[in-house]
Amino acid sequence: MSTTETDAGEMPEVPADPNAVSISINGRTVQARKGELIIAAADREGEYIPRFCYHPRMSPVGMCRQCMVEVEGPRGPMMVVSCMTPVADGQVVRTETEQVKRAQEGMIELLLANHPLDCPVCDKGGECPLQDQAFSHGPGESRFVEEKRHYEKPIPISDLVFLDRERCILCDRCTRFAREVAGDPLISFTQRGNNTQVMTFPDEPFASYFSGNTVQICPVGALTAQPYRFKARPWDLEQRESTCTTCSVGCRTVVQSSRDELVRYQGVDSDPVNWGWMCDRGRFNFQSVNSEDRLDTPLVRQSGQLAATSWSAALDAVAREMRSAGGAVAVLGGARGTNEDAFMWGLLADAVGSNMRDAQLDDGLPAAVLGLPQATIDSACSAGTVVLLAPDLKEELPVLHIRLRDAATKRGLRIIEVSSHDTGLTAHAWRSVRCEPGAQADTVRALLADPAVSSQLASGDVVVVAGRANLAESAEHTVAAIDALLAAVPAATVLPVLRRGNVRGALGLGLAPSAGNDAAAILESAANGRVGCLVLLGADPLSDVADADLARRGIAGARFVVAIDTFMTQSATHADVVLPAAAYGEKDGTTTNLEGRVSNVVQKITPRGTSRADWMVAAELLHMLGKDAGVATLADVQKLMATRYPAFGAAVSSAEVRRNGVVVTAPAARPAASAPAVAPRSSYDFRLVVSRKLYDKALGTAKSPSMANLAPGAAVIVNPLDAERVGARDGAGVRVSNAHSSLVLPLVASASVPRGTAIVPFNQPGADIRELVRRGDSVTDVRIESI
C-alpha cells in the first residue's frame, strides 16, 4: 500500500524545455529534468529503486544507502546514491545489476542486524517497507549473531505517538519532517554512531500538530500512533481515497476501516493541496465517528423530554412545523456536510420560501469575499508576496500553514503578516506587524506607505490570505483591510481562509445568506420571535457563536428547533426534534475546499444506527412538503445540482474529482467595505482577541479519546509587562470583565502578545469568554484585575 510515496507528477514534460535531459535507465531512454534526482526520474518512469530515507517531499539525506544504483562513469560503472545524484544528459543508469543487488542485500542485512524482528506483534507488520524489502531485496538470512541493541520498549513521545527505538533504522524521516516540514524540531537524533537514537528533550514531548505524519512516513514500526496501535492488521484493512473535511484545506486522505469500523486515515500526496501531509486533528478524529456517544435514532420532544422516535414520526413533525412557519424557516449550518447535502438543503429552503440561511455562524467573513478574484493554495505559494490578514494558520488550517511555510523557507515567497500577536508563520515572515483589533485597515495603509513594502508588492504576484482572526471584533475590519490592499494592488487575488470543512461549498450551493440576513441577524430575528422553524444543520450556535447571549436568545426565541447532527450538541439539547446525521466516512459525496476545489468524500462504513446523510433528509422533507425534487440517489442529486450550478456539476462528474479535485469559483462583485468606527481604548483596558487553537471543545476532538485532553484550556494571555502591571503571576487567576459580564481566567504571560492586547482562546474548557462578546461591538475591550 503506497500512499504518500506516489510521485504526484510534479514535473510536467514540456518537449522544448531547455532543462530537459535524456538519460537511460536499464537500457530505456527517458526524459528527465536537469537537477532532478535519479530516484525521482526512475519513480516517474516506473523503475522502482528501493529506499528508506528518501521522501519526495523532503530534502534528500542519503542516510540509508539502500538506493544505490550503477551509473556508467569515465572509469567504468560507479555505484552512486540515486537519491542524491542528479541526472545528467546521456547518463546511463542501471538499477538491477549484480553489483546493485549485492549492495541492496548488504544494506538490508546491516539494517536487520540490530532490528528486533518482532514483525508479528508490530503495527507495521504487513505494510512495512523494511519487511517487504527484506523479502524482495534481502539476503534471506542474517549472519549477525551478536547481541542486538536494546532500548526500553515503546515509549510515548507525545499523547499521540509512541517510539520504539529498537525498530528504528535511523532514516531521518521523522526528524527531518519535524524540522523541515512541520517546523517543530522537538525530536532529534541524539547520541552518535551505533548508539544514535531518535529522542525528545527530557520532559518536552513531541507535541507537534503534525506528529501523525511521522508515523505515516516511518518506514518501519518505530513510530506508532496511539489511536491505531493494535487496532488492525494491514491485511484486514479496506480503504478508499477521500478528502478530509475537518477544516477547509481539504487534505486528500485514505480512509481505512476494519470490520466496519474506521481505524485510520493516511495522507495522500495531492500536489495542489496537501502533499501527503495531514494535521493530527484531521488524522485522528476518526475516533469520534466510532464514539459510543453518537446519536443513532431520531428524538422528539415530548412533555419536555427528548424521546426516541421513528424517522417518519420525526420528519412528520418537522414538515408540519415548516409548513406552519410559512416563510419563517431558517437554516443555519451546512458547512460540515457535503456539497450535495448543502445543495439539497438550499433547495428545501427555496421551496419553503425561506430567506434565512447561513452556512457560517457569525464566525467567518461575509460570504461576499468569495466574489473577489480568487487565489489557490498553489498560486499563493508561488506568488512573490502573500499578505496575511488571517488567523494563525497553524492553529486553524494547519496544512495550509505547512504549504506557506515551505514556500517561505524554500521557495522565496515573502510573507507580510498583519496580526494581533505572533503566529506560527511570524518567524518566516518577511515583515510581521502587530496590530490592535480594529486597526487592520489603518495598519495596511501604513504598510503600503513603506517604500520597501510597496516595491515588494510591485515585484510580483500578490495574494491576500484573508480570514477571521478575532471573534471579538467586527468582521468588517478585515474586509476593510482587504479593501485597502486591493485598492493599492488591484491585481492582487484573495485566498479566503474560512475554516469549516465545506463552508465554501455550502455558501456556493444555496446556503449563503441573503443581503443583511446572516446568522447573527437570523438569531436576532429568532430572539424576536420571527423564526418559526430553526434548522441547525450540523450547527451548534450555543457553542460556536461568539456572542453567547445572542445565541441563547435566538435558540430560546425560535418557535421550533430542529437539530441535525452526529452528537447531542449543546444546542441540540434545546431542540424539539433531533435527527441523527451520518458522519464523515459514512456517506459519499463531494466537498469544496477553501480554494473552491471540489473533490470527493467517500462512505467507508455503515452509518451509525439509523442516521442518514443530510441530503436524504432534505429530499424526504421536500417530498413530504409536496415539492419532491425527484432524487433517490446521490447521482440524482448531482445531476440536479449540475442543472442549477453547471460549474459544480462539471467538476463533480469529472474523474479529477477523485484525485486532485477541480477548482470552481464563481465570479462576483467586490464587496463594499467600511470599517466600523472604533472607540479609543482606555489605558486601563485590554483590547480582546478571541482566536482559535487547533484543539478545543469541538466534538471531533472532544469525542476522540486520544485528543480529548489536548485542548490547552481557557486562559487570558498577555504580555509579561502587562502581567506585571496587572500584578498577577503566570498561572494566577485574574478577573476579566467589561460592561457585559465578568469571569475569572488563569493568566499566561507571553512575549508573543504585544502590550495592550489580551488573547483568549476560543471554545476551551473553563470559563467562557463569549459572555463578554457582543455582536454589535466594533471591538471588545476588557479590564484585567488580579484577585
Shorter beta-carbon distance to ligand FES: residue 176 or 468 = 176
Which ranges of 326-426 does DSSP label H, i.e. alpha helix? 339-351, 377-381, 393-396, 398-410
For residue 244, state whether it binds ligand FES (rule: CB under 6 A).
Answer: no
CB of 359 to ligand SF4, least distance (A): 40
Nearer to ligand FES, 62 or 373 (CB): 62
Binding residue (CB under 6 A) for ligand SF4 from 21, 32, 160, 171: 171
| Alpha-carbon gap, residue 62 to 57, rounded angstroms | 14
Q: Which does 303 bind (CB under 5 to 8 A by kind): ligand FES, other proteins, ligand SF4, none?
A: none
Q: Does 198 bind ligand SF4 (CB under 6 A)?
A: yes
Q: Is 463 exposed, middle or buried (0-12, 13-18, 19+ CB in 10 A)?
A: buried
CA distances for 529 relative to 318, 533, 539, 740, angstroms = 18, 10, 20, 23
**Residue 537 binding target from ligand FES, ligand SF4, other proteins, none, CB below 5 to 8 Å by type:** none
| Least Cβ distance, residue 732 to other proteins (angstroms) | 23
C-alpha–C-alpha distance, residues 264 and 224, integer Å: 12
Which range binds ligand FES by CB under 6 A, 62-70, 208-216, 251-259, 393-401? 62-70
- Enclosing H/E stretch for 590: strand 589-592
Examine residue 67 and tell whether it contacts ligand SF4 (CB under 6 A).
no
Measured in whole angstroms, the distance separating CA 57 from the mean position of its chain's CA atoms is 18
The label of the residue with cell 504598510 reads 447
Of these partners, other proteins, ligand FES, ligand SF4, none, which one is at the site of residue 67 (CB under 5 to 8 Å by kind)? ligand FES
CB-side exposure of 230: number of CA atoms within 13 Å?
2
**Which grid coordinates are listed for 631?**
432524487
Q: Which of 24, 45, 58, 86 binds other proteins (CB under 8 A)?
A: 86
Residue 450 CB partners (closer than 8 Å, separation 6+): none
Kind and range of the H or E run holding 569: none
Tell me if 173 contacts ligand SF4 by CB under 6 A: yes
Q: Which does 134 bind (CB under 5 to 8 A by kind): ligand FES, other proteins, ligand SF4, none?
A: other proteins
What Rg value do the Cα atoms of the chain yield, rounded?
Answer: 28
| Whole-angstrom distance, CA of residue 248 vs CA of residue 497 | 8
Kind plus residue range of the DSSP H or E element containing 80:
strand 76-81
Grid cell listed for 673:
467595505
In the list 47, 166, 172, 340, the residue contacting ligand SF4 (rule: CB under 6 A) is: 172
Of 277, 331, 53, 326, which is closest to residue 173 (Cα–Cα)? Answer: 53
Query: Is there binding between residue 89 and other proteins (CB under 8 A)?
Result: no
Q: Is residue 186 within 8 Å of 169, Cβ to Cβ?
A: no
Q: Is 110 in the site for other proteins (CB under 8 A)?
A: yes
Query: According to the binding rule CB under 8 A, does residue 135 interact with other proteins?
Result: yes
Please, what is the minimum distance in Å from the beta carbon of residue 155 to other proteins?
15
Q: Which residue from 21, 23, 42, 63 is in contact with ligand FES, where contact means CB under 6 A?
A: 63
Which position's Cβ is nearest ligand FES?
A: 83
Interacting positions 77-116 with ligand FES (CB under 6 A): 81, 83
What is the Cα–Cα distance from 595 to 570, expressed in whole angstroms?
31
Query: Which residue bears the cell 450550478?
Result: 645
Residue 174 interacting with ligand SF4 (CB under 6 A):
yes
Task: Identify which of residues 66 and 133 has a Cβ nearer to ligand FES in the complex.
Answer: 66
53 binds ligand FES (CB under 6 A): yes
Query: Residue 683 is placed in which grid cell?
Result: 489605558
Number of residues that bind ligand FES (CB under 6 A): 12
Fill in the per-residue mask, 304 to 343: x = in contact with other proteins (CB under 8 A), - = not in contact: ----------------------------------------
Q: How far is the CB of 231 from ligand SF4 (least distance, A)?
A: 19
Residue 594 sits at φ, ψ, to 5 deg, of -65, -20
Phi, psi of 643 (to 5 degrees): -75, -35
Q: Does 223 bind ligand SF4 (CB under 6 A)?
A: yes
Footprint on residues 44-73 left by other proteins (CB under 8 A):
60-66, 68
Candidates 27-35, 50-58, 289-297, 663-671: pick the segment binding ligand FES (CB under 6 A): 50-58
Residue with cell 489580551: 758
Q: To the nearest whole angstrom, how small is the minimum distance from the Cβ of residue 221 to ligand SF4?
A: 8
| Type and span of the H or E element at 454 | helix 451-458
Smallest distance, other proteins to C-beta of residue 607, A: 35
- Is residue 64 at the binding interface for ligand FES, with CB under 6 A as the rule? yes
**Distance (Å, whole) CA 149 – CA 661:** 47
- How many residues line the site for ligand SF4 (CB under 6 A)? 14
Q: For ligand FES, which stretch binds (CB under 6 A), given 46-54, 463-471, 656-664, 739-747?
A: 46-54
Interface segment toward ligand FES; rule CB under 6 A; list 64-72, 334-342, 520-528, 735-743:
64-72
54 binds, among other proteins, ligand FES, ligand SF4, none (CB under 5 to 8 A by kind): ligand FES
Given ligand SF4, ligand FES, other proteins, none, residue 173, with its beta carbon under 5 to 8 Å by kind, binds ligand SF4
Q: Does residue 189 bind other proteins (CB under 8 A)? A: yes
d(CA 273, CA 397): 12
Which of other proteins, ligand FES, ligand SF4, none sits in contact with 455, Cβ below 5 to 8 A by type? none
447 sits in which H/E element: helix 440-448
CA 345 to the chain's CA centroid: 25
Buried b / exposed e over 322-360, threshold 16 CB at 10 Å, is beebeebbbbbbbbbbbbbbbbbbbbbbebbebebbbbb
Which residues bind to ligand FES, rule: CB under 6 A?
A: 51-54, 62-67, 81, 83
